[in-house]
Amino acid sequence: MNDFEKSRGFWGSRAGFVIAAAGSAIGLGNIWKFPYITGQHGGGAFVIVYLICIVLIGIPIMLAEFTIGRKTHKNPVGAYKNIHPAGLWFLVGGMGVLAGFMILSFYSVVAGWTIAYVVRSIFMLVTQFETAADAGKYFGNFASNPFEALLFHTIFMSLCISIVIKGVRSGIEKSCDILMPTLLFILVLLVIRSLTLKGAWAGVVFYLKPEFSKLTAQGVLVALGHAFFSLSLGMGAMITYGSYLSKKENLASSALIVGALDTVIALLAGLMIFPAVFAMGLEPSAGPGLVFHVLPAVFSKMPFGNIVSIAFFTLLAIAALTSGISLLEVVVAYFIDEIRWSRKKAVLIVGSVIFILGIPSALSFGAFGEYKLFGMNFFDIVDHIASNYLLPLGGLLICVFVAWVWGPKPALEEIHIGEHKFPFAGGWVFLVKYISPVAVGIILIAKLMGK
Ligand code: TRP
């Protein structure tokens, strides 16, 4: 390792790395999206399919990303160049950096809403609704107000910038060490609150009772796509986080722990949301509007709903923040390694550009909402391109790269450094060679066909 590699930063401990990677994985995807797609696609049956996708496809790809990162101690572009200097593989890394730019720009808008709802909860403004329709109308007015949408987008990006600028160890690791336990603590309290409400059991049944008749091929695709997004795969976020890990740490068990943590938090999020929705006699099937339309109405009816609301939106904001910093770090790492900018310069410039790119997304629910392409506003377009195409394509190519270009042998050598046992080596190679790329390829084709 040369001096530059040493100077780009390191995790202080393996626990710090695992917590930060879990922070990247655990995001709005777990707390906002996972519960409602589970509700839509067959409850327990969907959960079983999701678990299979996490184990057979998600965790193996995560390990592939960690391995590339730790081998090279580089950002995604540099990592591909380092392992395979010939050809165009570095472009796969470039696609990841681009996806990071795009995802953070709209992620920040939604994250901004969650912070705004913390503030509004403190002033008792989001817990005074009779019905979900009232809460939904209120949300519509809120999201279309350009002043607030921009203000909270600015606040969220500033928070990400202020953490990432302090570096890997004193910025990202330190903040995740505080934020992630806080997240777990709030989540557990809210799950207990929810499960102890009268009538909560109906929600548990709705959420987890396997209904295989509701599980469709579409549901399987959704499970696979979500496993991917939820674990932050496909754009090199885990390459970047792996690049700050020292050679003595165990890659395989880290991937397993991060995957398990991400899944447990997603499952708990459902156990927090559905029992409360049922206990308050509201409709669970609200889809994406669940968090901002239905839950405020649920909190309005609940004893001490105001405090629950503050806790819930704080939880969402924390989850979004630890994911947001990972998205920013991918892009920043590129400019530090490849263009040799200082961390400060990279964070300030990249953060500002992402902030600017987010402005039309922030305004997509009001002033800019009329500008549409294929029926989608700016926010939807950026989300659609990055999440549906760039990420799966990136994930597919990561598998092909590790299994077929770099080769399983050198990859396994990297995993085995430090004499760590990896009893699933053969299975992992098989999955990354055949199963994961085919599965991810199928999602990509299905998305291309508009399914
Ligand atoms: N995994 C995060 C979530 O569940 C989102 C996210 C953060 C992400 N970083 C990523 C997704 C990198 C893909 C790639 O909300």
Burial of residue 1, with CB atoms counted within 10 A of its CB: 0-12 exposed, 13-18 middle, 19 or more buried: exposed
Q: How far is the CA of 24 from the centre of ligand 1 (A)?
A: 6
Instruction: Give pLDDT tens digits for 270-290.
Output: 999 999 999 998 877 667 778
Ligand 1 atom showing the smallest separation from residue 387 Cα: 13
Which of 24, 95, 330 is the pocket-test mutation for ligand 1 (most atoms within 8 Å of CB)? Answer: 24
Per-residue pLDDT, 90: 97
> Which one is predicted more confidently, 385 or 25?
25
Neighbours of 248 (CB within 10 A): 10
Ligand 1 atom showing the smallest separation from residue 231 Cα: 1
pLDDT at 253 over 70: yes
Per-residue pLDDT, 53: 95
Return the residue whose CA atom lies nearest to atom 13 of ligand 1: 232
429, 402 in Cβ contact below 8 A?
A: no
Number of domains within the chain: 1
Per-residue pLDDT, 43: 87
Specify the CATH number for the domain of residue 28.
1.20.1740
DSSP 343-394: HHHHHHHHHHHHHHHHHHHHGGGTTTTT--BTTB-HHHHHHIIIIIIIHHHH
The three-class DSSP label of residue 262 is: helix
Instruction: Give pLDDT tens digits for 162-177.
Output: 999 999 999 999 999 9
pLDDT mean across residues, the chain: 93
Q: How far is the CA of 28 from the centre of ligand 1 (A)?
A: 8
Determine the residue type at 450: G
For the Cβ of 387 lying below 6 angstroms from any atom of ligand 1, the answer is: no
For the Cβ of 24 lying below 6 angstroms from any atom of ligand 1, the answer is: yes
| Percent of the chain predicted with pLDDT > 70 | 98
User: Across residues 189-197, what is the average pLDDT?
Assistant: 95
274, 197 in Cβ contact below 8 A?
A: no
Q: How far is the CA of 446 from the centre of ligand 1 (A)?
A: 21
* Residue 149 to residue 133: CA distance in whole angstroms: 21
256, 21 in Cβ contact below 8 A?
A: no
* Residue 262 to residue 451: CA distance in whole angstroms: 26
Q: How far is the CA of 277 from the centre of ligand 1 (A)?
A: 26
Per-residue pLDDT, 372: 74
Residue-number span of the structural domain to which 242 is assigned = 3-448
346, 171 in Cβ contact below 8 A?
A: no
User: Across residues 357-382, what is the average pLDDT?
Assistant: 82
424, 122 in Cβ contact below 8 A?
A: no
Determine the residue type at 187: L
Ligand 1 atom showing the smallest separation from residue 99 Cα: 14
pLDDT at 346 over 80: yes
Which residue, 120, 171, 143, 174, is CA-closest to 351? 171
Which residues lie below 8 Å from residue 320, measured CB to CB, with a gap of 6+?
27, 28, 107, 110, 111, 114, 156
Q: How far is the CA of 198 from the centre of ligand 1 (A)?
A: 35
User: Across residues 433-447, what is the average pLDDT?
Assistant: 93
Which residues lie below 8 Å from residue 278, measured CB to CB, with a gap of 6+?
199, 200, 202, 203, 206, 284
pLDDT at 363 over 70: yes
The angle that helices 90-122 and 146-164 make with each other, rounded to 10 degrees, is 120
